Structure 1
Amino acid sequence: MIARTTRPLVLYESGFAPRWYVPREDIQEKELTPVEGQTFCLYKGLASYYDIGEAKKAAWSYREAYTEVGRVDDLVSFEPDKVEVYLDGERLHLEPGQQVVPHGVDRGLGTDEVLSH
């Protein structure tokens, strides 16, 4: 077991399954291996990723989330299609079409440009 919490935070976003975030104090962080590189979310900021054992990019965190979504700042969320995630004893599964699929960006905005502001 990597994480166990009685105080998860749920984030609802249009078109995605609810994402559950866990406080770092409730995670065995030694089991998370930081992955090089980040992605940018227009609404939350820069996401950092973690491998868990053989599961690649199985968790992520917004280490410095935007003020508007500050409640998820530095919390960790787990991909239920890559690791087993349970809520109240029931295993979570992503519904078809709920995965985030990289599709490119309109003008080539990269994480370097975001970090420079």
Structure 2
Amino acid sequence: METETSAAALEPSPGFAKNPEYRITLERPEREFIATLQGEPIAQTTRAIILREADYPPLVYFPPEDVRLDQATMSDKDTYCPYKGMASYWNFGTEANIAWSYEEPFQEMLDIKGYVSFYVDRLDDPVI
């Protein structure tokens, strides 16, 4: 399944309303992804979503049930994206704010609601 979001959505986010040409593409590849930190898998799934946005490197978003959230603590950090919404952050072990999720994303990004992504440069190996 491939989904492309744009200003054509019914209720555009502030970012898409101001910049209708901006594109974020979501893909559901049929393969396994594993995120490993300090030698331990902290996320493993065959149900990932790959998010491609502008010139940024692609990101893997893991379904929350496939992430070892029992090994994580919620951070007090949050950030705002005008295209996706407010991101909440997670700490794993000694790695503060290594992961984030959009618990209440804008309408165009509902497919990633609750999914967890990681800063890949802080993991043991690249996820993609």
Normalised by the size of structure 2, how large is the TM-score?
Answer: 0.64
- The question of 1:73 aligning with 2:113 is answered yes
Whole-angstrom CA distance in 1 between matches of 2:47 and 2:110: 16
> What fraction of aligned residue pairs are identical, expressed as a percent?
36
Structure 1: tracts of 5 or more residues without a match = 93-117
How many pairs are equivalent? 88
Compare relative contact order (CA 8 Å, sep 6+) and give the higher one, 1 or 2.
Answer: 2
Alignment of 1:50-61 (within 5 A): 50-61=90-101
Query: Which residue identity is paired with 1:22?
Result: F
**Structure 1 residues 6, 86: closer, same or farther in 2, change over 3 A?**
farther
Contact 2:105/2:113 (<8 A) preserved = yes
- 2:24 match: none
Whole-angstrom CA distance in 1 between matches of 2:119 and 2:53: 15
Divergent runs of 4+, >4 A: none
Structure 2: tracts of 5 or more residues without a match = 1-40
Normalised by the size of structure 1, how large is the TM-score?
Answer: 0.70
Contact 2:90/2:96 (<8 A) preserved = yes
1:35-65 Cα shifts (integer Å, max 9, x gaps): 1031100000000001111112110000111
Whole-angstrom CA distance in 1 between matches of 2:125 and 2:99: 11
Higher percent of residues as strand: 2
